[in-house]
Amino acid sequence: MFSCVEELQQQLARCKYLLDYDAATVVYLAIKLQKPIFTEGPAGVGKTELAKALAAAMDRQLIRLQCYEGLDETKALYEWDYQKQLLCLHLNAVQNFSWENAKQNIFTTEFLLARPILRALIAEEPVVLLLDEVDKSDAEFESFLLEILSDYQVTIPELGTIKAKNIPLVILTSNNTRLFSDALKRRCVHLYLDYPTFERELEILRLKVPHINQALARQVVRFVQSIRQQKLKKAPSIAESIDWAQALLSLGIECIDEKVINNTLTVLLKYQSDIEKVKEKKLSTFLLGV
């Protein structure tokens, strides 16, 4: 798909996603080795966007499974269509079919409701499978993933083992809210995405908000990066810095000052306690060098 790391970076950039060379090398090797990518880092640094950009760059369908506590295989892998099975059993009873014949009829792929993981395995074309925020799921689901991540196959008791028709590019994301087993990490290539440097975030902002002038873009990035140095409940993510920049443009603002910040801080920070903590400090402290 990509002949070198630089080509991967270029294709992602065309999809409006900027990736440093080191991180791009990890992704490139994972694709070449057909290994899942386990992506960790703070919330809002572009882990999910990376999967979307890769799907676009590789011209593949993106199949996304949003993980949560209590997620099990009926939501992630498959479920039997019970209503359709009952209807089939009723028709078989009317036609005096034996139980053995009926049992063979109702446990087939015709009665299988494929969920995201199974859809990715049986897809006729290679896809990108995103297991988003896998740290929100529990240890049982993590164990369930091991067969998929190692052999790209699943075992369904009534049907047997189903192997992937085409090996998908699997991307797992985690916001570092819990630890994972060595067994899961061993099956993946590890990628850590952190908040970007000033220059990189400035590039991202200019890419995502093309109409912003250079001076305002620098002010936004400088202020956001200074805010991230504080002990906040939720530091502003890249997505929120982009939202803030777009909000400033919508208001026709060309230069930020204390009044502008006070009026628009709720776009950047999501908790009242964080807003109050920032306002308690002299905003001029954050504006130094802006």
Which of 114, 140, 173 marks a domain boundary? 114
Q: How many helices and strands in the chain, by DSSP H and E?
A: 15, 9
Q: Do residues 13 and 39 both lie within one domain? A: yes
Q: Do residues 55 and 89 both lie within one domain? A: no
- What sign does the dihedral 12-24-34-155 (CA atoms) show? negative
Q: Is residue 40 within 8 Å of 174, Cβ to Cβ?
A: yes
Which of 87, 114, 141 marks a domain boundary? 114
Q: Do residues 49 and 185 both lie within one domain? A: yes
Question: Rounded to whole angstroms, how far apart are CA atoms 255 and 262?
Answer: 14
pLDDT, residue 89, reads 67
Helix (H, G, I), strand (E, B) or coil at 247: helix
Q: Do residues 133 and 182 both lie within one domain? A: yes
Question: Rounded to whole angstroms, how far apart are CA atoms 85 and 218?
Answer: 61
Q: Do residues 149 and 244 both lie within one domain? A: no
Q: Do residues 101 and 205 both lie within one domain? A: no
pLDDT, residue 278, reads 86
Q: Do residues 160 and 21 both lie within one domain? A: yes
pLDDT, residue 284, reads 59
pTM of the predicted protein model: 0.86
Name the amino acid, one letter, at 279: K
- What sign does the dihedral 221-218-48-35 (CA atoms) show? negative
pLDDT, residue 100, reads 60
Helix (H, G, I), strand (E, B) or coil at 63: strand
Which of 114, 134, 164 marks a domain boundary? 114
Q: Is residue 233 within 8 Å of 273, Cβ to Cβ?
A: yes
pLDDT, residue 86, reads 76
Q: Do residues 241 and 153 both lie within one domain? A: no
pLDDT, residue 247, reads 95
Nearest to 217 by CA among 235, 232, 203: 203
Q: Do residues 124 and 142 both lie within one domain? A: yes
Q: Do residues 230 and 109 both lie within one domain? A: no
Nearest to 115 by CA among 144, 69, 87, 78: 78
Planar angle of CA 142, 146, 149, nearest 5 degrees: 115
Q: Do residues 54 and 122 both lie within one domain? A: yes
Q: Do residues 228 and 94 both lie within one domain? A: no
Whole domain around residue 88: which residue ranges?
78-114
| CATH number, residue 28 | 3.40.50.300
pLDDT average per 10 residues of sequence, the chain (290 residues): 93 95 97 96 93 97 95 87 72 63 66 90 96 94 93 87 95 93 95 94 94 93 91 91 94 89 91 88 59
The kind and range of the H/E element at 56 are helix 47-57
Q: Half-sphere exposure (CA, 13 Å, Cβ side) for 118?
A: 19
User: For the chain, how many structural domains are there in total?
Assistant: 3
Q: Is residue 169 within 8 Å of 29, Cβ to Cβ?
A: no
